[in-house]
Amino acid sequence: MAIPTLDPNAPAFTRRYMNLADPRLGARALHASDEFFAPKERMLDPQPAVFIPGKYDDHGKWMDGWETRRKRTTGHDFCIVRLARPGVIYGLDLDTSHFTGNFPPAASVEACYAQASDDEAPGDNADWQTIVPATTLQGNQHHYVEVSDTRAFTHLRVNLYPDGGLARLRVYGQPRRDWSTVERGSLVDLAAIENGAYLVAANNQHFGLASTILMPGRGVNMGDGWETRRRREPGNDWAIVALARPGIIRKIEVDTAHFKGNYPDRCSLQAASVTGGTDDSLVTQAMFWPALLGEQKLEMDKQHVFESGIAALGPVTHVRFNIFPDGGVSRLRLWGEPV
């Protein structure tokens, strides 16, 4: 598994919101007009695209993405993708990494909200809305496009003009959940990315992205978690999480699955109810938030559950998760009563 890297030129939405096109969360490529050279599913792979010199298959050069044949008729190629959750889209990454002489000159993206089964594309009566108009693409690079439509969508249609290859599709947004169905007093994981929680900031993400700790399930290996570099100076590493909903935290879980020689020695959490402000201002404010959970000793490769010792801070909207002094954590769960 490749080490995830943060593109310093990527806009804030790539760090703030989840990838609604992540197959690990249930996204699927449903239908493509053509996938002769490379299958549509490869376009949704959560790992960065790779290039393998000298690798060929029965159709030609093996490419890590979705690639159609050279079109010899009128029209254009397209692929329909079902998002992992209905959600509001804030931006996309149309990534042509390693596609040089075979990338599409342009692409557009349409979206709709449709009640369709998991395997079915939206019907003929689907109300497709253009969220990314035809945009010029270049070879071997990321194309970050902001989206201003605030409606929730379930499906996308990616159009390539006229043909070519797209290495990766990333759809950054926030799931739309119906909170009215949550029974009063029941506990919900308010740090779950599928419920709408997102990473605000982290001081270091050298070996693993901090947003991974908000993903569902347990980590599958050491690469499926947040891991910082070895700290050689005083202090500790931290990550700030915006909760899916304001709530009263009742139970905390810190999972160090697969982290054995590199798990943090201790952890703690701070929390506050915040309105307004920018992400940069939250980083400063968080240093002074009251403690939600004092320092707790951690162990390797273990789910740590804390139900006692949680401070009665009332409803909170954000938490700062501190690890001492550094290391790797697989998942963070914050079970609380939504308000």
pLDDT at 17: 87
pLDDT at 141: 96
Residue with tokens 């009665």: 312
For the stretch 266-323, pLDDT in tens is: 999 999 999 988 878 899 999 999 999 999 999 999 999 999 999 999 999 999 999 9
pLDDT at 107 exceeding the cut of 80:
yes
pLDDT at 1: 44
| Spatial CA neighbour of 48 closest among 3, 94, 103 | 3
Whether the Cβ atoms of residue 245 and residue 195 lie closer than 8 Å to each other: yes
- The residues near 124 (Cβ < 8 Å, ≥ 6 apart) are none
pLDDT band (50, 70, 90) for residue 116: confident
pLDDT at 257: 98
What is the spatial distance between Cα 339 and Cα 133, in angstroms, rounded to a whole number? 39
Percent of the chain at pLDDT > 70 equals 98
pLDDT at 282: 94
User: Model's pTM, two decimal places?
Assistant: 0.85
For the stretch 94-103, pLDDT in tens is: 999 999 999 9
pLDDT at 9: 84
pLDDT band (50, 70, 90) for residue 81: very high
Q: Where in the chain is the domain with CATH 2.60.120.260?
A: 13-175, 181-338
Pairing of strands 106-112, 152-161: antiparallel
Greater confidence (123 vs 265) lies with 265
Rounded average pLDDT over 204-208: 93
pLDDT at 2 exceeding the cut of 70:
no
pLDDT at 4 exceeding the cut of 80:
no
Greater confidence (138 vs 115) lies with 138
pLDDT at 151 exceeding the cut of 90:
yes
Output the average pLDDT for the chain. Answer: 94
Residue with tokens 């009128």: 74
Percent of the chain at pLDDT > 90 equals 86
The CATH architecture that domain 13-175 belongs to is: Sandwich (2.60)
pLDDT at 277: 80
Rounded average pLDDT over 184-209: 93
Residue with tokens 């308010």: 190
Residue 90, helix vs strand vs coil: strand
**What CATH class does 181-338 carry?**
mainly beta
pLDDT at 199: 93
pLDDT at 6: 66
Pairing of strands 328-329, 226-227: antiparallel
For residue 14, the surrounding DSSP H or E stretch is helix 13-16
What is the spatial distance between Cα 52 and Cα 47, in angstroms, rounded to a whole number? 15
User: To 5 degrees, how large is the angle CA 43–CA 108–CA 144?
Assistant: 65
Whether the Cβ atoms of residue 329 and residue 256 lie closer than 8 Å to each other: yes
pLDDT at 15: 81
